[in-house]
Chain A
Amino acid sequence: MPGIEKTAPRRAASAGRSSKLGLPGPAFALILIAPCLLLSVAVIGYPIFDVIRMSLFDVSRTGVVREFAGLANFAKAFADPVFLQAARQTVIWTVCVVGGTLLVSVPIALILNEDFYGRTIARTIVLLPWAISLAMTAVVWRYVVNGDFGTLNMTLAALGLPFENYPWLADARMAFLIEILIGILVSVPFTVTILLGGLTSIPESLYEASAIDGAASTKSFYYITLPLLWPFMQIALVLNVIYVFNSFPIIWIMTNGGPANRTDILITYVYKQAFAFGKLGNAAAGSMVMFAILLVFALVYLFLTKSQGARNDD
């Protein structure tokens, strides 16, 4: 994957020594890779083909592929104001959740990397959101933020705050904000784990050296920690963008895209088109657009890291 492309020690794989030892050639390598590739292509290949086909054909609500429709499904999607609205909201959703996750995760990872009493407990608690599936997290939170019976208002009211029966999900902006916060909450464990891995790999000696040089700890953070952590942040960024962009359960369960489509993102839009409205062709076209957006993102990322990698090689 991209992070690896750049950083894996390809240069270390010295071909000279390999041939001296009479290593098996590329054919053997392919045999090792084959099961992985076969499994992937066999399971995911056909469904991808199916989606592409449905996006180009007129499809009945029961999945019967009728005549070729060209780009009509795509035209319909782009003519639908709700689709465009959902696309805009998907960008907001992804940027806010991924950005927020990194902002929250970096300090948490830094703290968890310190040596303090109860660190194992703290680390376990930070990982806890990961122990429940997204759908269930969303179900539980829907109950937590319920205006009249939820535990959030119960607690806020007990603290004397004016949230006796505040309806958190009634206003679209507030509902979206809550969904974003929950999105951040569930993305933190994964991100912190990756960042912690990065932090533990920074040799202590580097800090000692900088301490001898009299550098302040903020300085060593900017000049040592951050640059060394950057590749890990990149990986977290790329994977989170992919996962969050496609993340379905939180929004679906908490607001179903409402009120008035204000919290719809592309994946919930596509799901509604397919399974509530029976428009499988439109849904497939929407899925292809989603895929294209992620692909462009990945290409831009690859391009940026490639050029950066080239610089590093000099």
Chain B
Amino acid sequence: MGKKFLAALIVGTATAAALLHSGSAWAKETVRVRVAEYSTKTGPFFQGLAEKFNAANPDIEVKIEHLPWPEMQQQLVSDISAGTAPDISHMATRWMAGFAKDGALAPIEGLMSPGFADTFVPTYLDLQKQGDHTWGLPIAASVRGLFYNKKLLEQAGIAKPPATWDEAFEAAKKIDALGDGVYGIGVQGRDLDTEGYWFYSLWTHGGAILGPDGKSGFASPEAVTATNNYLRMIKANVTQPGVTGSSREDLQNLFAAGKMGMVLSGPWFNAQLAEQGKDVEYGISRIPVATTEATYGVTDTIAVLESSKVKPQAMKFLEFIFNKENRLEFGKLEGFVPVLKAESTEPFFTENPKMSVFLEMGSMAKFAPLFPRWEEMADGLKTELSRIYSGEVSAEEGLKQAAAKMDAILAEEE
């Protein structure tokens, strides 16, 4: 077989040499922008923005490509490795650290117009910084709250949404007792954000992802208590059946069908409920508390790639996306919390109780750390949570494993 590889190499190299010039065909003033889809409306929205921008800037042509989230990483890796990356790419903020570390992203602090950075809510922009650089802009931000079904709460004789986890447990028991295929509270056990669902409990019990000693906080006493908080609900059968088989989407569907009393989710869920759960009367309150008020904050990033040859033009388009009018439209469309200071005072956010609660919680939001290898740590945690929720191991035992994995990765990175 060796000979065949050699032959392939020779053929490849010869042809490559002949075609070298036709290889880099991206025109100079074209800015390729890749966005990932939050809903099927995302692509068309950015397409519309690009058309407006192109009409106003005859020297720049923005081209939008949109991809589904599950394919984003694979495609971005393939593209960067082949030198065909877009000029601007959307990504999860937790991938950003890794890409920045490997030199794939361009720092943008020098590209931004004076004063532009000051238009952002500092919390969200700060998340895009690492080392001395800003690696991107927060294209989407969310914090999470407790969605509750008003009718089910009422039927169960609960006057107001639970403020503490103990109240939440009691409420879940009462709602679940209504029978008829109704579940008290949702607990997520698989796929994207499983660790996030656990963080709600971790942080409100006073735990932390990274302990004061710089080591994993996954196995701290607070973390164990936080895990047992969910476990008692699972054991009492007041959650949906099969926690380890339920993704975020599954929980949201149950709530939208009126089968679930309470679920923790983010502002985007409003948009889904408006379409899918028209009959469900619901309210949103803060995440129940044990010792500390907290919520999980998440941002997604839009970044300029280091390989881009049109960085100033790319930045110009980014500044266009982040003007108040366009951001507001995006926020209304997809249901995200404001990342611009000017947006935060808009009646859409302040006067709508289904949005204002997220604004209030913004100040108490905590975030996942920006480690380049965070995905692996989170995956280790997810695996152990799965084992714990299914009753295979105790919370102490499972969390010890997850913490050990995280510490091993932290040690390797140093």
Residues in A lying within 8 Å of B, measured CB to CB: 38, 41-42, 45-46, 48-49, 52, 60-64, 82, 146-149, 164-172, 175, 255-256, 258-261, 272, 274-278, 280
- B5 in complex: contacting residue of A45, A175, A260, CB < 8 Å: A45
Nearest to A48 among chain B residues (CB) is: B5
12 pairs of residues in contact across A and B, judged by CB atoms under 8 Å = A41-B11, A45-B5, A49-B9, A62-B77, A63-B77, A149-B253, A167-B242, A170-B241, A170-B242, A170-B390, A258-B244, A278-B98
Q: How far does the Cβ of B36 sit from chain A's closest Cβ, in whole Å?
A: 14
Q: Which 9 A-B pairs have the closest CB atoms?
A: A167-B242, A63-B81, A45-B8, A170-B242, A170-B245, A260-B386, A62-B80, A259-B244, A169-B245
State in angstroms the CA–CA spacing of A1 and B131 once bound together. Answer: 56
| Majority secondary structure of chain A interface residues (helix, strand, loop or mixed) | loop
CB-CB under 8 A from A62, the residues of chain B are 77, 80-81, 99, 102-104
CB-CB under 8 A from A274, the residues of chain B are 74, 77
CB-CB under 8 A from B73, the residues of chain A are 275-276
Residues 154-172 of B, flagged 1 when their CB comes within 8 A of A and 0 if not, give 0000000000000000000
B11 and A256 contact, CB distance less than 8 A:
no
State in angstroms the CA–CA spacing of A168 and B373 once bound together. Answer: 32
Question: Does any Cβ of A come within 8 Å of B250's Cβ?
Answer: yes
State in angstroms the CA–CA spacing of A148 and B239 once bound together. Answer: 13
Given the interface contacts A49-B8, A256-B190, does A261 sit within 8 Å of B245 by beta carbon? no
Question: Does any Cβ of A come within 8 Å of B215's Cβ?
Answer: no
Q: How far does the Cβ of B187 sit from chain A's closest Cβ, in whole Å?
A: 12
The stretch from B143-151, B198-206, B315-323, B375-383 touching chain A is B375-383
CB-CB under 8 A from B243, the residues of chain A are 170
B77 and A166 contact, CB distance less than 8 A:
no
State in angstroms the CA–CA spacing of A258 and B11 once bound together. Answer: 43
Given the interface contacts A48-B5, A62-B80, does A260 sit within 8 Å of B387 by beta carbon? yes
Q: Which residues, 261 to 280 on B, are CB-close (under 8 Å) to A?
A: none
Given the interface contacts A62-B80, A170-B244, A170-B246, does A276 sit within 8 Å of B375 by beta carbon? yes
Q: How far does the Cβ of A91 sit from chain B's closest Cβ, in whole Å?
A: 21
CB-CB under 8 A from B98, the residues of chain A are 61, 278
A148 and B77 contact, CB distance less than 8 A:
no
B7 and A260 contact, CB distance less than 8 A:
no
B241 and A165 contact, CB distance less than 8 A:
yes
State in angstroms the CA–CA spacing of A256 and B102 once bound together. Answer: 27
Q: How far does the Cβ of B413 sit from chain A's closest Cβ, in whole Å?
A: 13
Question: Does any Cβ of A come within 8 Å of B257's Cβ?
Answer: yes
A147 and B241 contact, CB distance less than 8 A:
yes
A49 and B241 contact, CB distance less than 8 A:
no
A41 and B80 contact, CB distance less than 8 A:
no
Q: How far does the Cβ of B69 sit from chain A's closest Cβ, in whole Å?
A: 12
CB-CB under 8 A from A147, the residues of chain B are 240-242, 245
Residues in B lying within 8 Å of A, measured CB to CB: 4-5, 7-9, 11-12, 73-74, 77-78, 80-82, 98-99, 102-104, 181, 189-191, 240-246, 250, 253-254, 257, 259, 372-373, 375-376, 379, 382-384, 386-387, 390, 392
B241 and A167 contact, CB distance less than 8 A:
yes
Q: How far does the Cβ of B16 sit from chain A's closest Cβ, in whole Å?
A: 10
CB-CB under 8 A from A261, the residues of chain B are 383
Q: How far does the Cβ of A62 sit from chain B's closest Cβ, in whole Å?
A: 4
CB-CB under 8 A from A168, the residues of chain B are 245
Q: How far does the Cβ of A157 sit from chain B's closest Cβ, in whole Å?
A: 10
A259 and B189 contact, CB distance less than 8 A:
yes
| Majority secondary structure of chain B interface residues (helix, strand, loop or mixed) | helix
Nearest to A60 among chain B residues (CB) is: B102
State in angstroms the CA–CA spacing of A167 and B237 once bound together. Answer: 14
State in angstroms the CA–CA spacing of A277 and B73 once bound together. Answer: 10
CB-CB under 8 A from A172, the residues of chain B are 244, 390
State in angstroms the CA–CA spacing of A276 and B69 once bound together. Answer: 12
Given the interface contacts A62-B102, A165-B241, A170-B245, does A45 sit within 8 Å of B7 by beta carbon? yes
- B189 in complex: contacting residue of A63, A170, A272, CB < 8 Å: A170
- Quick one: which of A60, A166, A272 has the most chain B CB within 10 A? A60
Given the interface contacts A49-B9, A62-B104, does A166 sit within 8 Å of B379 by beta carbon? no
CB-CB under 8 A from A52, the residues of chain B are 5
New contact pairs (18) apart from A49-B9, A146-B250, CB-CB < 8 Å:
A38-B11, A41-B4, A46-B8, A61-B98, A62-B81, A62-B102, A62-B104, A63-B77, A149-B253, A149-B257, A169-B245, A175-B245, A258-B244, A258-B382, A258-B383, A261-B383, A274-B77, A276-B73
Nearest to A146 among chain B residues (CB) is: B250
CB-CB under 8 A from B191, the residues of chain A are 256, 258
Q: How far does the Cβ of A63 sit from chain B's closest Cβ, in whole Å?
A: 3
Q: How far does the Cβ of A196 sit from chain B's closest Cβ, in whole Å?
A: 35
A167 and B246 contact, CB distance less than 8 A:
yes
CB-CB under 8 A from A63, the residues of chain B are 77-78, 80-82
CB-CB under 8 A from A256, the residues of chain B are 190-191
- B383 in complex: contacting residue of A167, A170, A260, A275, CB < 8 Å: A260
State in angstroms the CA–CA spacing of A274 and B73 once bound together. Answer: 9
A277 and B379 contact, CB distance less than 8 A:
yes
Nearest to B374 among chain A residues (CB) is: A277
State in angstroms the CA–CA spacing of A255 and B191 once bound together. Answer: 9
CB-CB under 8 A from B259, the residues of chain A are 148
- Quick one: which of B240, B241, B245, B392 has the most chain A CB within 10 A? B245
A171 and B244 contact, CB distance less than 8 A:
yes
State in angstroms the CA–CA spacing of A230 and B392 once bound together. Answer: 44
Q: How far does the Cβ of A73 sit from chain B's closest Cβ, in whole Å?
A: 14
Given the interface contacts A63-B81, A165-B241, does A171 sit within 8 Å of B390 by beta carbon? yes
CB-CB under 8 A from A148, the residues of chain B are 181, 240, 253-254, 257, 259
Q: How far does the Cβ of A173 sit from chain B's closest Cβ, in whole Å?
A: 11
